[in-house]
Amino acid sequence: MRRQDLQGRKARLIGNLAFALVLLTVFFSLYSHYILKKAWGWNIVQGESMVPTLKRGDLVFIIPFLPGRPPDPHIGEIIVFTREGPKGVEEKVIHRVVDKKGHVYLTKGDGNSFTDHTPVTSDKIEGYIIQIGEGALKIPGVGALVLYISSSKARAPLALAILFIILLWWAFSSKSRGRFKRRNALGRFYERHPTFVNCVGVMLLCTLIMVSGAIRGSSVKEVTYGISLTGREQILAGHGEINFDYVRIGSEKESTLTVSTDSIFPMVVLFIFDSEHLSLSQNPVVVQPKTEMEITATINARKATPGLYSEKISMWVLPGFLPPDMIYSLAKIHPLLAALTVSLILSSGAILPLAFLDSQFNRRSKRKGSPARNRGW
CATH code (residue 84): 2.10.109.10
Q: Identity (one letter) of the amino acid at 345?
A: I
Look at residue 239 and tell me whether its pLDDT is greater than 50. no
User: Do residues 49 and 3 both lie within one domain?
Assistant: no
Instruction: Answer whether residue 335 shows pLDDT above 90.
Output: no
Q: State the residue range of the domain holding 16.
A: 1-35
Amino acid identity for residue 21 in this structure? L
Which is more confident, 199 or 26?
A: 199
Q: Are residues 11 and 43 in the same domain?
A: no
Predicted confidence band of residue 39 (pLDDT cuts 50, 70, 90): low
Mean per-residue pLDDT of the chain: 71
Same-domain status, 61 and 7: no
In a domain, 181, yes or no: no
Domain count, the chain: 3
Boundary (domain end) residue, out of 97, 115, 147: 147
Are 26 and 96 members of one domain? no
Same-domain status, 57 and 28: no
Range picked from 81-90, 174-183, 280-289 for highest mean pLDDT = 280-289
Q: Which residue has the higher pLDDT, 248 or 75?
A: 75
Give the pLDDT mean for 36-43: 60
User: Which residues neighbour 282 within 8 Å (Cβ) at sequence distance 6 or greater?
Assistant: 293, 295
* Same-domain pairing of 27 and 67: no
State mean pLDDT over 99-112: 90
Q: Are residues 66 and 131 in the same domain?
A: yes
Same domain, 8 and 44: no
Distance (Å, whole) CA 140 – CA 138 = 6
pLDDT of residue 27: 59
Q: Same structural domain for residues 6 and 107?
A: no
Q: Is the pLDDT of residue 282 over 60?
A: yes
Weakest-pLDDT range from 96-105, 201-210, 240-249: 240-249
Torsional class of 56: left (φ above 0), alpha (ψ -120 to 50), beta (otherwise): beta
pLDDT at position 99: 92
First to last CA, the chain: 33
The reply to whether 106 falls in a domain is: yes
User: How do the residues of the chain divide into helix, strand and coil, expressed in percent and rounded to 5?
Assistant: 40, 25, 35
Could you read off the pLDDT of 177-231 as tens digits, one per residue?
Answer: 555 555 556 666 666 666 667 677 767 776 776 666 666 566 667 677 777 666 5
Classified as helix, coil or strand, 308 is strand
Q: How crowded is residue 103: how many other Cβ atoms within 10 Å of its Cβ?
A: 14
Strand (E) or helix (H) holding 365? helix 335-367
In a domain, 143, yes or no: yes
Is 162 part of a structural domain of the chain?
A: no
What value, to the nearest 5°, has the Cα angle with vertex 284 and ends 280 and 289?
A: 115
Q: Identify the CA nearest to 268 among candidates 211, 218, 220, 320.
A: 320
pLDDT one-digit tens code per residue, 301-331: 777 677 777 777 777 777 777 788 888 888 7
Alpha helices in the chain, H assignment, sequence order:
3-35, 143-150, 155-172, 174-183, 185-192, 194-217, 324-333, 335-367
Is residue 116 in a domain? Answer: yes
pLDDT for res 108: 93
What is the sign, positive or negative, of the torsion defined by CA atoms of 163, 164, 168, 171?
positive
Phi, psi at 31, each rounded to 5°: -115, 10
Residue 213 belongs to some domain of the structure:
no
Residue (of 293, 308, 285) closest to 239 by Cα position: 308
Per-residue confidence band for 56, with pLDDT thresholds at 50, 70 and 90: confident
In terms of pLDDT, which residue wins out, 110 or 254? Answer: 110
> Which of 96, 125, 147 delimits the end of a domain?
147
What would the mean pLDDT of 74-98 be, rounded to a whole number?
A: 85
Q: Does the pLDDT of residue 98 top 90, yes or no? A: yes
CA distance 91 to 116: 14
Residue 199 lies in a domain: no
Is residue 187, in this structure, part of any structural domain at all?
no
Interatomic CA distance for residues 314 and 329, integer angstroms: 15
CATH code assigned at 230: 2.60.40
Domain final residue pick, 101, 128, 147:
147
Strand, coil or helix: 205: helix
- Model pLDDT, residue 237: 36
The predicted structure's pLDDT at residue 106 = 93
pLDDT value of position 339: 79
Let me know whether 275 and 294 are in one domain: yes
pLDDT of residue 236: 38
Q: What percent of the chain has pLDDT over 70?
A: 53
Please spell the DSSP secondary structure of 73-133, one letter per residue.
Answer: PPTT-EEEEEEE-TTS-EEEEEEEEEEEETTEEEEE-TT-SS--SS-EEGGGEEEEEPEET
Co-location of 3 and 81 in the same domain: no
- Determine the pLDDT at residue 109: 92
The number of CA neighbours under 13 Å toward the Cβ of 168 is 14
Assess whether 23 and 79 both reside in one domain.
no
pTM attached to this predicted model: 0.42
The CB density around residue 22, as the number of other CB atoms within 10 Å, is 10
Cis previous bond, 52, omega within 30: yes
